[in-house]
Amino acid sequence: MSTHPRYKRRNYFINKEFQGRTIFHYFILATLGSILFMAVFSFFSSNTLSITYDNYQLQLGVTPGILFQKILSTQWVFIVLGGMVVVFVTLILTHRVAGPFFRFEKTLDTMIEKDLSDTIVLRKKDEGKHLAEKINTFTRMLENDLGHIDARNENIAACAKNLEKILHTPDPDMVKALAMLDEILHSQKNIAQTVRAYNCSAAKE
């Protein structure tokens, strides 16, 4: 059995709607840029003449007109090659954005389901690394605070159980009972401090 890792094909279309829309917009922008360049060049060369040699014939004409004819004759080359370049470059760029967005959504979905075990790991050239670090930091902080609350809650439960045993004895030891009560109040105070550290909208109502 081979020990080599199985090759995993990279999926460049992670968010087809977003990437397709961006590729289309970039293609339109490139086309408009080319048209604008031709218009500006034609404006500044409108008073010049050019001589061309085509099919063994010399042609003399206004520079914009001659250039426009050449551009039209090679327009399909621009559409095919230029379009392929725009699609490829835009696909690579959007992949570095769509990939992190996909990871953010998946991680936030797990957080909504009250699962804090997921960690956002991005590729070297992906965008959004600072946002990923902030989300991971918040997740770990929330996980730590919830663990602190859970530990204090278990301590309260244990103290309450011991307090119940003390109070149900024929001759309750009030010193131990008060000690258990102090421990419960101390744990409750720690829980309250942890919860109040968060600025929640519900607390303002």
Domain layout of the chain by residue ranges: 16-127, 136-196
pTM of the model: 0.60
pLDDT at 182 over 90: yes
Q: What SS3 class is residue 74?
A: coil
Per-residue pLDDT of 71-116, as tens digits, reads: 666 656 666 677 777 777 777 777 777 788 888 988 999 999 999 9
CA separation, residue 102 to residues 19, 96, 109 (Å) = 12, 10, 11
What band does 160 get if pLDDT is binned at 50, 70 and 90? very high
- DSSP string covering 26-49: HHHHHHHHHHHHHHHHHHHTTT-E
Q: Are 136 and 120 in contact, with CB atoms under 8 Å apart?
A: yes
Q: Cα 41–45–48 angle (5° rounding)? A: 160
Calculated CA dihedral for residues 67, 70, 71, 73, nearest 10 degrees: 160
What band does 5 get if pLDDT is binned at 50, 70 and 90? very low
Listed in sequence order, the DSSP H helices in 45-173 are 63-73, 75-77, 83-112, 129-167
Each residue of 157-193: b (16+ CB within 10 Å) or e? Answer: eebeebbeebeeeeeeeeeebeebeebbeebeebbee
